[in-house]
Amino acid sequence: MNTDNRKQSTDNTLDLYIIITKPVLKYTQIAEICVRNQIKYLQLREKDIEDRELLQIARDISSITKNSDTKFIINDRVDICLLAGADGVHLGQDDISFADAKRLLPLDKIIGLSTHDLTQATEALKLDPDYIGFGPIYATPTKRKPDPVVGCELLSEVLKIATIPVIAIGGIDDTNIQNVIIAGAKNICMVRYFMETEELEERIKKFMIYKF
């Protein structure tokens, strides 16, 4: 496990966490763009695709991200992560436990956890995962049963107690990202903003203006 990935950034560099879900572009095209732009994390989150197809998509993406600066993460599925040779897995509150995932995965695999309130974040941090996701910062329709909005103030509280990366997620786009940055976020995820466009690379480059 790369210990550098487990530390909160001490400089002013921002990193993107891109989640693939119902994309406009092809999966491999997204992976190529992310590798080319050195995106830190790329997660595959497709809950409505059958297992064999999902595994093939994961293998295709993994073949592109392998040996790059982009870490490829599988949502929920430890089995798909292992079979596809992905870099790690992201677990939600209702997925298998962090302890069980650790038992199944090699030591060099990344494990991230979703959290949706201060209590969940505090408990997740005690487990010492590689990172936690925290949100939704703003209202978002990307989940069938969205969690309550946490807002930037609560995000700031979590960032103050975290010693690992915290991914701010949920409803973030170019209209409100500045508020998330002001709250202290160094790792930001925008789902619809990147998935619902054919201009993914242009939008990634637009994000670069926030790196200060």
| pLDDT tier at 141, thresholds 50, 70, 90 | confident
| pLDDT tier at 211, thresholds 50, 70, 90 | low
Q: Is 50 exceeded by the pLDDT of residue 87?
A: yes
* 185-206 pLDDT tens trace: 999 999 999 999 999 999 999 9
Q: What is the pLDDT of residue 27?
A: 98
Q: Are 41 and 208 in contact (CB under 8 A)?
A: no
Residue spans per domain, the chain:
3-210
Q: What is the pLDDT of residue 3?
A: 42
Q: What is the pLDDT of residue 10?
A: 38
Q: Is 80 exceeded by the pLDDT of residue 5?
A: no
- Segment among 61-70, 123-132, 136-145, 150-159 with least mean pLDDT: 136-145
Q: What is the pLDDT of residue 9?
A: 43
Mean pLDDT for 138-163 is 90
| pLDDT tier at 60, thresholds 50, 70, 90 | very high
CATH superfamily entry for domain 3-210 = Aldolase class I (3.20.20.70)
Q: What is the pLDDT of residue 143?
A: 67
Specify which of 4-8, 12-16, 27-31, 136-140 reaches the highest per-range mean pLDDT.
27-31
* 161-186 pLDDT tens trace: 999 999 999 999 999 999 999 999 99
Half-sphere exposure of 81 (CA within 13 A, CB side): 26
Q: What is the pLDDT of residue 209?
A: 78
